[in-house]
């Protein structure tokens, strides 16, 4: 059973109680988070994460594919540019579209 701290005496009490069993003070209600706002914020966060994945995929593909003039001190396996960076790009796009969908249906 989840507990929370009493704001008056500081002892742990069950979060469903309305009165503290230690100091007998009335406990305030737990603030409820509005569902409508969180879905929109969750969608915004997913869009941001997805676009970050797309950017990361571009950077990885640029450096692992040998497009930059900088010489990397270690060899990179071709599986990175053939499968992994396109997979990261598509996953990021999917996450962005999911976030957009969450935002539109909120």
Asked if 17 is part of the footprint of Zn ion (rule: CB under 5 A), the reply reads no
Least separation in angstroms between CB 16 and Zn ion: 15
Least separation in angstroms between CB 19 and Zn ion: 9
Asked if 23 is part of the footprint of Zn ion (rule: CB under 5 A), the reply reads yes
CA distance 36 to 6: 29
Question: Phi then psi for 3, rounded to 5 degrees?
Answer: -120, 165
Whichever of 22 and 48 has its CB closer to Zn ion, that residue is 22
Asked if 20 is part of the footprint of Zn ion (rule: CB under 5 A), the reply reads yes
CA distance 47 to 99: 5
Question: Phi then psi for 37, rounded to 5 degrees?
Answer: -70, -35
CA distance 31 to 93: 35
| Residue from 22, 38, 67, 68 in contact with Zn ion (CB under 5 A) | 22
User: What residues make contact with Zn ion under the rule CB under 5 A?
Assistant: 6, 8-9, 20, 22-23
């Amino acid at each position: 059973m989840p507990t929370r701290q009493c704001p008056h005496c500081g002892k742990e009490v069950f979060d469903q109680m309305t009165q503290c069993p230690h100091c007998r003070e009335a406990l305030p209600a737990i603030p409820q988070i509005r569902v409508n706002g969180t879905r929109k914020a969750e969608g915004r966060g997913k869009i941001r994460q997805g676009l970050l994945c797309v950017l990361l995929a571009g950077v990885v593909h640029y450096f692992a594919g040998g497009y930059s003039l900088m010489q990397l001190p270690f060899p990179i396996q071709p599986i990175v540019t053939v499968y992994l960076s396109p997979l990261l790009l598509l996953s990021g796009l999917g996450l962005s579209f999911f976030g957009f969908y969450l935002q539109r249906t909120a």
